[in-house]
Structure 1
């Protein structure tokens, strides 16, 4: 894998060419062909964004976000080639992992986690992208050690400064990363963020600039694994790719609009 620190600095898009920062839901996919069509459209967007930023599209991982999608549709998605799925809620992810165990799906938990759910995550998840406290790190490590497993983790950062978002404040990231090696079952892969929820593209780009700076500092200190950057969702992943993302988390552009509001799956901080 290419060292993310060696990637060229992204060039700004030409005036008038930058994508809108907005919801980007595809028609609801139910059949294998539906999923193939939506996947092809998303991958074409990823390729175009990567080329515009002088990057190799192969360096950008697509993580389809399957929250709220029923299991029968996920079987069709798998048949269309989706082998990794991201979920926000532990209970939903655990149920799907159990009922779809025959498919061998790679499950990524990308939502906020309470310490009392660490046992569930340690039992089924392949990666966890929302690590934001040492108390949670300790709980996960203890459960993973008991299960004889390791877990890929991303440290979540509140790059937007919005009170509604979970994640570490940027100035706390370096010390937090430095404290993680004691939890030997956690394999730190990089950093994750949700950018500001706004139509202001410059504000979104600033969130991604903050993340790249933090990642580069972590690589220099040797505390951030191979320096992956999980950032960008259906409405802003082109901007995230221009900002250096190596993993985009895309749901509605693949599966279609959700029947429930995002607020159910991205609770306010402290809720």
Structure 2
């Protein structure tokens, strides 16, 4: 049993087929199949059901997968730590987060990080929902996560700041700031598609104010919401930090405010490199 075999089977699962996995790994499909069959012989059970147009994990495969992901991630971290100590390279920092935070919170932090640590690569893993992010971190995907506070997390956790949400409307809006979301209860909204964590946040904020927002249009892309709202398709509730300074639309604070606390979290106390990244996040100055 080898880490390469772990990587091969994980890639097949993530890509959904042997063909795409072989292309991603730059190996032939027969070689890939041979390695996975060898792994299954060592495990003593089939890990994949090979369907005509797809692959599916068996019960044994579903039990095996999270441990394999964690083992592969831990091996990569061990290699990076050894190389840092030996001075071979400064290594790679793996950061898991949400798509909306990649748009808003992270760009200025990454710009500062790049200036201070030009030899350290950053690998981002982006997720649509905070629950997916937590699950990925539980599986050992990254060194560090940035997101809403995870439920029942027993490892390292540090509060970073508060993210504020604003309402976006067309530039000729007649609403005054700050705006009460109840003023928008009877109109169609620019909403987020199911599975996007911001859909849950918008629904919860409106429910606290006694109504359910009707969706005039739903978007998968967080960055599209303010653009669609400014064009007149309906109000959108968006993270304030994703709206450009020169944005052509009305951006209104809410009363009462809509906010969420963000934290950095990991399985264990971060090493010095990850700790430096957490410190930079904490100094970002985006507290409400």
TM-score by length of 1: 0.26
Higher strand proportion (structure 1 or 2): 2
**Higher-RCO chain (CA-CA 8 Å, sequence separation at least 6):** 1
* TM-score normalized with structure 2 length: 0.25
